[in-house]
Every structure is written in C-alpha cells, then in structure tokens.
Amino acid sequence: MKRFIDMNKKTLILAASLLFVTISLSAQSKKKIVQDTIFRLGGRQIICFVQKVNQFEVDYKFLNDPTQYSIEIKQIEKIIYRTGRIEPFNKPVFIEVDENSWEAVLITEKREDVKGMYKYGEVEAPSSPGAKNKSKAIYTAKMKLQKKAAGMKGNIVLITKTEPRGGYGEPPSYVLKGDVYGYQPMPEEEVDDRKEVLDDILK
C-alpha cells in the first residue's frame, strides 16, 4: 500500500512538472518579438531585424523572411534598435521636390528601396542624341527621368526597363522607363486632376 502511495506521489510530481513546463513554454511563445525600427526620411518605418550597418547602406531582414534587403544611409533618419539604442543618420525633414530641385530625386534599380512608399505614376525618357558613349547616354536619360519625377513631386524613380535603341555604327541611344514613388500620399486634388486628363484622352 505504501509503495502504491509513493508511486502516486511521483506521478503527481511528474505531472505537475510537465504542466509547469508547458505553461512556461506557452507564455514564452506568446511573448511579443521585439524588432528594430528603421525610420526613413519622410516618416515611413521599416519594422525588421537589422543585420549590418556600413557607411553606405543598412542590411535588414523581415520576420519569417530569409531574404536580406538593403537601404541606403542617405534615405534613413534614424534606427531604434530592439535594445532601445537610437542611432541617428540624417536630420528629419519634410521632403518636397519640385521642378527646380530635380537633382534631389533618387534613381534606383532596387525594389526594396521603395518598399512602403506611395506610387505616383510611370515615366519614360530617351537619352540625349548627342551622347558619345553608353554611360553618357544613360546618364542623360536618368536626368530626364529625374526632371519628370520632380514635376510629379516624386522622391524616387525605380527603373523598370532599360531599352537600347539604334543600330550598328550609330551613336548609343537608350530609353529608360520607371515608376515614380513618394514618401507622402498623393494629394486628392492631384489624383482627381490626373483622372480627368485620362478620361479626356479616352473619350
């Protein structure tokens, strides 16, 4: 009888231990995962895990996503790390681009650079006919894209296509196409104006 009671006690102790471990693991699984926060110029935030920071860019990953992304330092206001440490990079500003400040428009081929931004529209631009080499031709086409994007009050142009033109022996010529993005939502009146123009074209 005593042996039977001792076995029951051991069983109860084991069951209680297992219950305690289960409750502890459940509480840990429900605990909020703390991540880093990258604050972009213009106010947009990227909740992520910062992997590496160098003088040119920051590498980061998202929760449950093995892909590593990167963002240029010049686009970052600050990073608040999961430990609470704050690392500033650039002064916070409200970035508003107009036709006279087209050089402030960034050109990129990395889709992650526009993640979380607002798309304003599409632009297309040919290179200047006087370009003597490929580098100069693409440079002039990018400059035209910047000016068109500035006219739309965009901040970044994501290059979507680089199309060579011309034949053998002709000066290098290219047409660049891209999507224009901004840090702020497009004002409603501008959206309405563009819709009216599009409706007039389709009539």
| Centroid of chain to Cα 97 | 19
pTM (whole model) above 0.95: no
Q: What are the residue boundaries of the structural domains of the chain, listed by start?
A: 36-88, 99-202
Between 40 and 86, whose confidence is greater? 86
Residue % of the chain over a pLDDT of 70: 69
63: helix, strand or coil? coil
Whether the pLDDT of residue 201 is over 50: the answer is no
Looking at residue 161, what is its pLDDT? Answer: 94
Q: What is the CATH number of domain 36-88?
A: 2.30.30
- The yes-or-no answer to whether 36-88 and 99-202 have a common fold is no
13 CB-contact burial (10 Å; exposed 0-12 / middle 13-18 / buried 19+): exposed
In DSSP terms, 165 is beta-bridged to 173
Q: What is the CATH number of domain 99-202?
A: 3.30.110.70
Residues 6+ apart with CB under 8 A from 86: 78, 79, 80
51: helix, strand or coil? strand
**pLDDT tens figures, 128-178:** 887 788 888 899 999 999 999 988 888 899 999 999 887 676 778 899 999
pLDDT-derived band at 179, boundaries 50, 70, 90: very high
